[in-house]
Amino acid sequence: MTDSLRTFMLKGVPVSPGLAEGLIYVHQTLLGPIDVPVSIVRGNVEEEFSRLDDATASISNDLLALATRVEKEIDTRLSLVFEAHQLIANDPTLREEIRKEIADNLISAGSAVKTVFLRWEKRFLLMESQVARDKSDDMHDIAIRLRNALAGITVHPLDRIPAGCVLAVSRLLPSDTVFLASRPIAAILLEHGSIASHAALFTREMGLPCITGLPDLMNTVPDGAPALVDADDGTVTINPGMPQIEIFQKQVAYKEDFLAYARDRATLPAITRDGITVSVLANVNSREDTENAMLNGAKGVGLYRMEHSYLGCVVPPSAGELLGEMRWTLEAVRGRSVCVRLLDIGADKPMPFIRFMVESNPSLGRRGIRLLREYPDLLDAHVRAVLELSREFDVRILVPMVTVSGDVEVVRESLVRIGAELEIYPLPKLGAMIETPAAALSARKLAPYVDFLSFGTNDLTQYAFAADRENAAVGQYFDDASDVIFRLMQATHDDVPGMPLSVCGELAGRLEHIPRLLQCGIRTLSVAPKLVPLVKEAIRNTSCGKSA
Ligand code: PEP
Ligand code: MG
């Protein structure tokens, strides 16, 4: 039987959850205009310069309009991607490099754009951090936009994509994804692209099911074949039989009913069948997240990641700026508990204001508390800001990337010293993120300095399995629901039985694993705002079976 009729399944890495069915639409290339280098004569150099300026001005307007649209229709944070594209397109150094390419090599503006951007793309691809590598997608995206403008092409290659299809592409650029926002497609399958790429972020925000890291996708999936996409667990069934379709459709109907029911009950407490109350909190990055968290019935904020606000900063934030930022983001949660994580920078979250030494393995290098220990002024500024915040909010503090007790001891010392100076009593509760196996197995040593522990299962899994959390190629090793992770949690609980334990990594939102988390002594779960009603309902439907 040929692949066009055979039933088979592909397994990849889910980046945006959901169930969907539709016909496969294989899109072989999303490349821009095909051009061989076009030569010009010296007399035309000025004309090419001015064509380049016109095209830059034109895409600049388009990008600003796109940023405004994305901000209104999708997400404020994501609109920043296109604002950044607009800034890059207008970057004077880049413009000079393109002009030099035109004048020195006597080639058209389109050809020069291609060469220069390709050079930059490659530079980013060679960098260590995944964030920098994802920038190559951005450069590719801007180059296509600019070359299309120079070639007078206004139709997007995805313009003719059939409604309701399951799009299979090798790689997706940010603007392709936004373009898809206005097309009613069912799901996206990708051969390449990390879970942390901008394209992945977009699909999650748009609620479009998406799976990445599907090996040899472009050669294995037949165009037009029916497909069942389960982006909750990363599988695609091609050419399903009738029984598979029926099971899948029941799954979809059940999921929809469950969601509607859970939303209706979102503000009720989450108590297991055997009477254990669990706090369901939200992970937030922005003011919008905090508002959504409250609307979805979160009891408070279990993880405030504030790095996102600083990704572009060229000078370190002052205590005043940090305070202003936190107040603005957390307004909706006043009167409830808020857990602020100290700046978790380094590795996948580089900051321009810190001179990062080149490290051959940044994830195992200076990040989180390690970096704050190296920059005590930054640590103190952050502690001071959080202490000031505690005058208005019910604040807790979380220390990221703890490995040894010294990591929490320095924060306790800073908290006590600055707290005395500001005359703040009692001090906010202090917690350690358990993100390394060493921390999980050192709970007794951490205990004298902390009031609670929170498992960051994303990093804990990365470090337990030695599998980069952002690298789809080692996705099969990254198993955050493995027995290994639960055993680390259980060991922590056994070592410090009275210590309040929470989970704020992605595992906290995986409904099927909630019973096991509760059995390990976890009594607080912090999840993405939209998952709060589902997690609460899952808790109500389970029994803990053990007392903590
Ligand atoms: C984690 O590692 O599980 C976590 C919650 O922190 P982040 O995802 O921000 O690294
Ligand atoms: Mg982490």
pLDDT at 17: 85
Rounded distance between C-alpha atoms, residue 60 and residue 47, angstroms: 20
C-alpha–C-alpha distance, residues 411 and 397, integer Å: 10
Asked if pLDDT for residue 149 goes beyond 60, the answer is: yes
- pLDDT value of position 86: 85
**CATH class of segment(s) 272-540:** alpha beta
d(CA 63, CA 128): 28
Please state the atom number of ligand 1 nearest to the C-alpha of residue 507.
Answer: 3
Q: Which atom of ligand 1 is found nearest the CA of 455?
A: 3
18-31 pLDDT, tens digit per residue, is 999 999 998 865 44
Highest mean pLDDT: which of 96-100, 342-346, 436-440? 436-440
Q: Which residues surround ligand 2, an ion (CB under 5 A)?
A: 435, 456, 459
Looking at residue 347, its pLDDT comes to 66
pLDDT for res 194: 66
Fold match between domain 8-30+158-243 and domain 272-540: no
Q: Which atom of ligand 1 is nearest to the CA of 456?
A: 3
d(CA 341, CA 502): 14
Domain ranges, ordered by start, for the chain: 8-30+158-243, 42-151, 272-540
In terms of DSSP bridges, do strands 337-341 and 394-399 run parallel, antiparallel, or are they unpaired? Answer: parallel
State the chain's mean pLDDT as an integer: 86
Residue 492 pLDDT > 50, yes or no?
yes
Own/partner pairs, 510-518, CB within 8 angstroms, 24+ separation = 510/480, 510/481, 511/535, 511/538, 513/481, 514/538, 514/539, 514/542, 515/542, 515/543, 515/544, 515/545, 516/486, 517/486, 517/489, 518/272, 518/276, 518/278, 518/542, 518/544, 518/546
Between these two residues, 316 and 112, which has the higher pLDDT value? 112
Residue nearest to atom 4 of ligand 1 (CA): 456
Q: What pLDDT does 98 receive?
A: 92
Q: Where does ligand 1 bind, in terms of residues with CB under 6 Å?
A: 303, 305, 344, 435, 456-459, 504-505
> What pLDDT, on a 0 to 100 scale, did the predictor assign at position 418?
98
C-alpha of residue 483 to centroid of ligand 1, in Å: 19
**Percent of the chain at pLDDT above 70?**
86
| Identity of the highest mean pLDDT range in 143-147, 380-384, 442-446 | 442-446
Task: Answer yes or no: is pLDDT of 110 > 70.
Answer: yes
- pLDDT number for residue 32: 46
Q: Work out the pLDDT band at 39, boundaries 50, 70, 90.
A: confident
Region of residue 487 (left: phi > 0; alpha: psi -120 to 50; beta: else):
alpha
Contact between residue 235 and residue 13 where contact means Cβ atoms under 8 Å apart: no
CATH of region 42-151: 1.10.274.10
Q: For 138-148, what is each residue's pLDDT tens digit?
A: 888 888 888 88
What residue owns the CA closest to ligand 1's atom 3?
456
Task: Give, for ligand 1, the residue of 305, 369, 463, 470 to mutate: max count of ligand atoms closer than 8 Å to Cβ.
Answer: 305
**What does the buried/exposed string (b/e) look like for 114-126 if buried means 16 or more CB atoms within 10 Å of the residue's CB?**
bbbbeebbeebee
The pLDDT assigned to 41 comes to: 84
CATH hierarchy code of domain 8-30+158-243: 3.50.30.10
> Which residue from 129, 281, 459, 506 has its CB within 8 A of the most atoms of ligand 1, so it is best to mutate?
459
Reported as a pLDDT band with limits 50, 70 and 90, residue 251 is very high
